[in-house]
Chain A
Amino acid sequence: MSRAYMIRVSEKLTRHVVVRDGIECRLEVLPILPAKRMGELIAAALAKRGFEEKDGAWVRVEEDGIKVSVDIERGTVTLSLEGEANLDLEHSREGRAAGPKDEQARSALRDAARSYLERKAAAATDAERQKLTERLDARLADLRREIDDATNEATAAALKEKAASMGEIKSIEEDADTGGLTIRVKL
């Protein structure tokens, strides 16, 4: 009669993961002046808000790590956040074996433990990504509003330039509440 043995295997998984999330949306620009001039006005509005030109895009990195990047030429705004985490997971499995040196049973247990750890690692990575998404989500509305403010400022400046090119500006009225701008021009 053969005896049944219980064997135990332990597996460890150590991994450095980088998670990221972000969105890309359109930069809404009205073509009031030639594209090059509109780009200059938007760049000026962004520079006032702390953006710096880097590799052809206007970039600002927030205190919480969110990167806001405006590519005026492509007409896109990208908001992104990246995070890192070190995963250190361990898992043990027990099972029956024909003997203490039953390599087949040991290998099957090891595979099951590894597969469990891979699932845990995927879940932990996703949890890290979700934390990132929540942080980004919380700032999204404010950051979009700020970009909208910058484009509105550039649009107002473009309208004034356009009006000046058409004739003599008699008056400019700006309504801070509605964002309305009335320019009277003598042609």
Chain B
Amino acid sequence: MKRVAQSEAELLTIARALFGRANRSETRRVLEQRRPDFRRIGETAMDLLEDTLAKGAVLELVRRGGWIDRRGRLWDRAEPPALEFTAFTFELLRWMTVTPMRAPDRSVLSKPAALGDEVVAFLAADLLERLGFEHRHRVLMRAPLCSLVYAGDADEAPDPFLVDALTEELTRRWVDIVNAKSMLGADKHIENGAREQRVLGLFLDAIENGDRRFALFLVEAARRLHVTAPDLMEGITEGTSLSDRSAAMAAAARFFEAIERVQTWHAAHGLVRFFDDEYDAAQRLREDWEGLGDAGFARCAQIAETLRRGPT
């Protein structure tokens, strides 16, 4: 049996918890506590950490949607890149071990520098959220993948491979993000709308001239949503000023405006002629997005238009 120090054991508990392989109450205890900081871990603990991350990250990507057969499984659709972990992952796990996770923390850690770091940042936010801790920590919301999942504050789009792997997860999250709008007051609508506009804009800019199939999660989320513009405004209290209501409605339109942008691509794909080089790719996208279809895109555009029009 391998022996490690207590601080190392706690860090390994957090690492294992990311992949659902740690005792829940023990994880909660570590996340709640403040403990003396430590700068390094021993060789034995590092070996265990590397092993946990290497096996856990791959398994988690497969579990969370990589297994779904969409024109092949994740590893068939493209050559999987190496999942590397840098000092960021260690710093993040160490920070989670020594800092109480109850309140938002403005610690400035480095940014994720490799795909593995991105996965760990996302799983860390997911773990904190599942256990009822504050999860919108600055360090997490600035990580590109995490930012796309939670409408955070990153200034770049995540790696397409991760978006592809987590398409199902992203779909579910964005359905929740939009549905939750019906409980928001005007201020929160405005705050969230600004973030959603930036995050989705960055993402669509990044794939517009590349592989647009990664927008599938947005199309799927739009297909699964059954909301109307008035539904989204249910949380606005009666006494709210018209100017705030108007700004809140415009902010609530951001997701649907992103769908409007994808709609223009969908229409353009239908115009690609069969002798053009892009014909096959365009047809594949038309098929993939057919679940939402012209009627669904039109419904989203209508919601966006109603919200942009403001109070009536």
Interface residues, chain A, with chain B CB atoms under 8 Å away: 21-26, 79, 126, 129-130, 133, 136-137, 140-141, 144
Contact = CB atoms under 8 A, between A and B. Distances in A.
B20 interface: no
B243 A130 contact: no
> Size class of B's contact patch?
10 to 19
B158 to A, nearest CB: 33
Nearest to B239: A130
B246 A140 contact: no
A133 B239 CA distance: 8
B310 A23 contact: yes
Contact of A144 (B241, B243, B245, B312): B312
19 contacts: A21-B243, A22-B243, A23-B242, A23-B243, A23-B245, A23-B310, A23-B311, A24-B246, A24-B310, A25-B309, A26-B308, A26-B309, A79-B242, A129-B241, A133-B239, A133-B241, A136-B242, A140-B242, A141-B312
Interface in B187-244: 239-243
Nearest to A127: B239
Interface-central residue, A22, A130, A133, A144, by most chain B CB under 10 Å = A133
Interface of B: 239-243, 245-246, 308-312
A22 B242 contact: yes
Contacts of B308: 25-26
Contacts of B312: 140-141, 144
Contacts of B242: 21-23, 79, 133, 136-137, 140
Contacts of B310: 23-25
Contacts of B240: 133
B311 A140 contact: yes
Contacts of A137: 242, 311
Contact of B239 (A24, A26, A126, A140): A126
A133 B243 CA distance: 9
A26 B245 CA distance: 15
A123 to B, nearest CB: 11
A21 B309 contact: no
A24 B310 CA distance: 8
A146 B243 CA distance: 20
A136 B243 CA distance: 11
Contacts of A133: 239-242
Nearest to A25: B310
Contacts of B239: 126, 130, 133
Nearest to B309: A25
A26 B307 CA distance: 12
